[in-house]
Each structure stands twice: as C-alpha cells, then as structure tokens.
C-alpha cells in the first residue's frame, strides 16, 4: 500500500460496496473521504462498466445527506423531448399530455443528492437549466414562470470525453468547467488486475448464496488467465462471467479451460486496442466511423464464411451459384459499394429488426447511446417496433 494514503478500504468495502486492493482504488477511496462531507460537485469518468454508480452511492452514503434520497437519473435513456420535464418538473397543461402538476428529479432529490449518469447526453437546452441549478439552486418547471429553489448535491458521470464534446459544441464549456470541480477517474479493470481476485471472490460469494450453488474454488492458473484478459466490459463483464461460470460449471473447482470459454474474444490485456478519436472531427463522425468499422468487420466475416460454404457446395465447373441464383453471390457483396450513410442505415435497421425494436438493446449492440439511436431513427426514417 502507498504509505502516503491513510484510509480504511475494508470499511468502504463493507459499508459502501467499493471493492479493490489496487493503489488506484485506494486513492479513489481517499478522494471520496475528502469530498463526501462537502457539497462540492463531483464528476466521475471512466469506461462503461467500471462502477461509476457504485462510487456515486458511496459519496452519498458517506455524506451528511445520507438520510435523504439519492436520485439516480440515466440521462441517455430519456428522450430529448421530455428530459426537461423529467429533470425540472412541469405544470398542468404545459404541454399535450400534462394532465397534472409534476415534480422533477431535482425537486425529488431536495435535501439529498442527485446522480446524473451519462451526463454527456444532456441536450444543450437542458444544460442551460442544469448550469443554473449548479450556480444558485434555482430552476423553472416547464410551463411555469415561478422560480423555485432546491438544495441538492450533484454527482455526475460519463464515459465520454467531455473536452471533445465541448470542442464539437455538443457540451457547454461553462458547464464542463463547473462540473469538473472534482474529477474521479476510474481506471478500466485491465489497468488494475490486482483487483480481479478480490472482485471474483466477492461476486462468487454473492452468486453462490443467491443461487444456492456450492463453489469449490478456482486454480491459480485460472485466476492468472482472468487477470490477463482485457475485460472490454470491465467490472460488469466480470460479474457476468462469474455468474455464468459458477452456475454452468456447477460450482466445481475451476481450471483455465473452464473460464476461458466464457471470455469473449480473448486476448491479453496488454494487446487491447483503443480506437482513437480523430483530432478535428466531430464526435458524431467518430461514432459513425465506429459503426462502419463494426459493419465492415461483420461483412468480412459473413463473406468469408459464405466463400467457404460456396466452395464446398459448388460443382467443379463453378456454373451453379448459391441457392441456384446466379446473382445471389454478387448481391451479397454489394454492400461494399454502399455509401457510409447507406451502410449505417442498413446496420441500424438490422439491429432494430434483430432485437424486435428494443432501442436500448439495439443501441448497446451498436455501441452508441440511445439518444444517438433515436436521432438516427428519425434521420433515416426508420420505424422501430415497440
């Protein structure tokens, strides 16, 4: 342990659910101990699945506000048209469907804390009102001219680079500077492999108790394999792997071959590739390029598989095409000639169809936010099934 850090991580693990023995997590616990007694705004950053909500709950639980509610809001899951009403409330008759007066999340959190997850997804109009609350606690309900005041501690989180969002004019610079009074950055799990054994034991205990599954333990070689994995889904993925492994392997003593089959696309952590965000390009363009790369990867795999199948099915003279249709093979490779917009539209449409119109699942599969998906659906005129 770093001699300069005087903390009690065991207390935080037991009381607040922060689990980890790495120097990075111990330093985060130290920051929490420093900021929790205050009302200072905290911005939590880190990749998806690193445990940002756990940190927010710990800050609230260790604060003098812990007798009041902690209201958690996923900003990325609320459609842009109603997000101001959800956050700040509305008056009766202020818009179609507003049949009664309603308090927003900030009013419900009065005296306590509010955790705004995916704060980078807030539309600019809501950012203006949010900044006003941060500055003086004042806000207006939708459809009201009466200023109201709340006493709320704000904790925000994002997996986006807000500096790039500011450069792309998607996030207000003044709000960004106000939010980052204290920034707690959670490193990805692959950067703190020493936390994996303690997290594994904790999750294994939970799964064993919840599902009444005995657990005989895990070999050092299997644990070393887990520690070498790149964990793209971070702690959330580790929890899922533990659950699947214990239940499907019947709680027996785990060897490397037992756990490796539950690790998707295994390669060592040091080989993990981070896709760069091109300098000078908008975040939307970067997102579209990520979709395109995924589409091209999928297309390449499909065409490769199709080629293997055709080689085995076609007669030597090569005259018969797949399915008896001479144009079938040619049509299969036509996506290569599509524009970026057409390929993006096709991939979104296929994801919506595959997941029966479930936007949340489709957005997760496409590695974009729900708000971006809503915008793309409208932009491309796609009809998503409810």
- Between 81-90, 135-144, 253-262, 345-354, the lowest mean confidence (pLDDT) is in 345-354
- DSSP for residue 321: P
Beta bridge partners of 218: 254
What's the rounded Cα separation, in Å, for the pair 28 and 187? 10
Rounded to 5°, angle at Cα 253 from 250 and 255 = 110
- Contact partners, residue 142, CB within 8 Å, separation at least 6: 84, 85, 88, 89, 90, 91, 94, 95, 98
- Strand, helix or coil for residue 258: helix
What's the mean per-residue pLDDT of the chain? 80
What's the rounded Cα separation, in Å, for the pair 18 and 6? 16
What's the rounded Cα separation, in Å, for the pair 197 and 81? 44
What's the rounded Cα separation, in Å, for the pair 126 and 96? 19
First to last CA, the chain: 52
Alpha-carbon Rg of the chain, whole angstroms?
25
* Domains of the chain listed by start with CATH number: 9-187 (3.40.50.300), 190-271 (1.10.8.60), 284-314+336-380 (no CATH)
What letters, b where the CB count within 10 A reaches 16 and e where it falls short, cover 177-201? ebbeebebebbbbbbbbebbbbbbb
Q: How confident is the model at residue 318 (pLDDT cuts 50, 70, 90)?
A: very low
Q: How confident is the model at residue 32 (pLDDT cuts 50, 70, 90)?
A: very high
What's the rounded Cα separation, in Å, for the pair 75 and 123? 9
Neighbours of 341 (CB within 10 A): 11
Closest of 148, 226, 158, 222 to residue 194, by C-alpha: 226
Q: Given this model, what pLDDT does residue 14 score?
A: 60
Q: Residue for token digits 């390669």?
A: 267
What's the rounded Cα separation, in Å, for the pair 139 and 296? 47
- Between 164-168, 208-212, 250-254, 266-270, the lowest mean confidence (pLDDT) is in 266-270
Q: How confident is the model at residue 294 (pLDDT cuts 50, 70, 90)?
A: low
pTM for this model (two decimals): 0.67
- Contact partners, residue 193, CB within 8 Å, separation at least 6: 227, 228, 269
Q: Given this model, what pLDDT does residue 278 score?
A: 41
Q: Given this model, what pLDDT does residue 295 score?
A: 58
On the 0-12 / 13-18 / 19+ scale of CB atoms within 10 A, 169 is exposed
- Contact partners, residue 345, CB within 8 Å, separation at least 6: 376, 380, 382
pLDDT reading at 296 higher than 70: no
What's the rounded Cα separation, in Å, for the pair 188 and 50? 6
Q: Given this model, what pLDDT does residue 70 score?
A: 97
What letters, b where the CB count within 10 A reaches 16 and e where it falls short, cover 364-380? bbbebbbbbbbebbeee
- Strand, helix or coil for residue 105: helix
> To the nearest whole percent, how much of the chain has pLDDT over 70?
75
Q: How confident is the model at residue 196 (pLDDT cuts 50, 70, 90)?
A: very high
How far apart, in Å, are the Cα atoms of 253 and each of 65, 207, 219, 246, 259?
44, 15, 7, 9, 11
How far apart, in Å, are the Cα atoms of 326 and each of 301, 310, 320, 331, 385?
22, 12, 7, 10, 34
Encoding tokens for residue 5? 């850090």
What's the rounded Cα separation, in Å, for the pair 42 and 32? 10
What's the rounded Cα separation, in Å, for the pair 214 and 194? 25
- Strand, helix or coil for residue 153: strand
Q: How confident is the model at residue 316 (pLDDT cuts 50, 70, 90)?
A: very low
């Amino acid at each position: 342990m770093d001699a300069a850090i005087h903390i009690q991580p065991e207390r935080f693990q037991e009381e607040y659910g922060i689990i980890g023995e790495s120097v990075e997590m111990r330093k985060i616990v130290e920051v929490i101990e420093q900021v929790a007694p205050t009302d200072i705004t905290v911005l939590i950053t880190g990749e998806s699945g690193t445990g940002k909500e756990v940190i927010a709950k710990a800050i609230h639980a260790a604060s003098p506000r812990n007798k009041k509610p902690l209201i958690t809001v996923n900003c990325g899951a609320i459609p842009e048209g109603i997000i101001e009403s959800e956050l700040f409330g509305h008056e009766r008759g202020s818009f179609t469907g507003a049949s009664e007066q309603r308090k927003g999340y900030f009013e419900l959190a009065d005296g306590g804390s509010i955790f705004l997850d995916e704060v980078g997804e807030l539309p600019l109009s809501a950012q203006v009102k949010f900044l006003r609350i941060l500055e003086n606690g004042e806000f207006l309900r939708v459809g009201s001219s009466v200023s109201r005041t709340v006493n709320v501690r704000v904790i925000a989180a994002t997996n986006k680079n807000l500096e790039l969002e500011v450069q792309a004019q998607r996030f207000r610079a003044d709000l960004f500077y106000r939010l980052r009074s204290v920034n707690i950055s959670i490193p990805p799990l692959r950067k703190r492999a020493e936390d994996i054994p303690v997290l594994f034991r904790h999750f294994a205990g939970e799964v064993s108790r919840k599902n009444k599954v005995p657990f005989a333990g895990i070999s050092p070689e299997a644990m070393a394999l887990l520690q070498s994995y790149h964990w793209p889904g971070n702690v959330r993925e580790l929890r899922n792997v533990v659950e699947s492994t214990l239940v499907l392997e019947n709680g027996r003593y785990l060897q490397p071959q037992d756990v490796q089959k539950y690790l998707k696309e295994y390669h060592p952590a040091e080989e993990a590739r981070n896709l760069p965000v091109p300098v000078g390009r908008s975040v939307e363009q970067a997102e579209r390029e990520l979709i395109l790369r995924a589409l091209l990867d999928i297309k390449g795999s499909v065409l490769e598989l199709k080629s293997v199948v055709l080689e085995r099915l076609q007669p030597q003279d090569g005259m018969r095409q797949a399915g008896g249709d001479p144009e079938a093979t040619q049509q299969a490779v036509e996506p290569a000639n599509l524009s970026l917009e057409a390929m993006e539209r096709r991939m979104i449409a296929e994801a919506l169809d595959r997941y029966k119109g479930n936007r949340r699942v489709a957005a997760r599969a496409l590695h974009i936010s729900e708000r971006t998906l809503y915008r793309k659906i409208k932009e491309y005129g796609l009809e998503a099934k409810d």
